[in-house]
């Protein structure tokens, strides 16, 4: 019982790396992820008491090129939780690192904290 209580708030994020020699088409992200990954418009905030599900397991393919950076997927609120899958993007400079945006609890509400390049 004690271990169940201690582990109740733990979430594990698993990323699976796949080595594939086939060419990878570079496409724009799906609409669900576009607002989060590109952050042109922030996602809507969910109603009080709604929290995002645990992150989904993602298959990370081989990078399309040395200038690409993997941006992991996140849950987006669109009247319900929708998974915005991760994808490869070109950073603003050669050694850019993407700092992932995340959901932050403030009281009973969840708010999106934007990601950024450093």
Q: What are the pLDDT digits (tens) for 63-73?
A: 999 999 999 99
For residue 67, what are the CA distances in angstroms to 74, 98, 101, 107? Answer: 22, 13, 21, 40
> Which are the contacts of 8, defined by CB distance < 8 A and separation ≥ 6?
none
pTM value > 0.75: no
Q: Which residues pair with 110 in a beta bridge?
A: 105
Pair 78, 43: CB distance under 8 Å: yes
Burial of residue 98 (CB within 10 Å: 0-12, 13-18, 19+) is middle
* Residue 11 pLDDT grade (very low, low, confident, very high; cuts 50, 70, 90): very low
- pLDDT value, residue 115: 93
């Amino acid at each position: 019982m004690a271990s169940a209580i201690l582990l109740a708030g733990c979430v594990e994020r698993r990323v699976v790396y796949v080595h594939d020699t086939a060419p990878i088409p570079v496409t724009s992200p799906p609409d669900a992820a576009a607002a989060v990954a590109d952050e042109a418009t922030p996602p809507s905030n969910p109603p009080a008491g709604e929290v995002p599900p645990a992150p989904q397991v993602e298959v990370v393919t081989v990078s399309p090129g040395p200038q690409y950076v993997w941006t992991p997927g996140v849950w987006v609120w669109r009247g319900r939780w929708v998974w915005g899958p991760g994808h490869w993007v070109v950073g603003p400079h050669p050694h850019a690192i993407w700092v992932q945006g995340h959901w932050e609890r403030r009281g009973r509400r969840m708010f999106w904290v934007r990601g950024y390049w450093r």
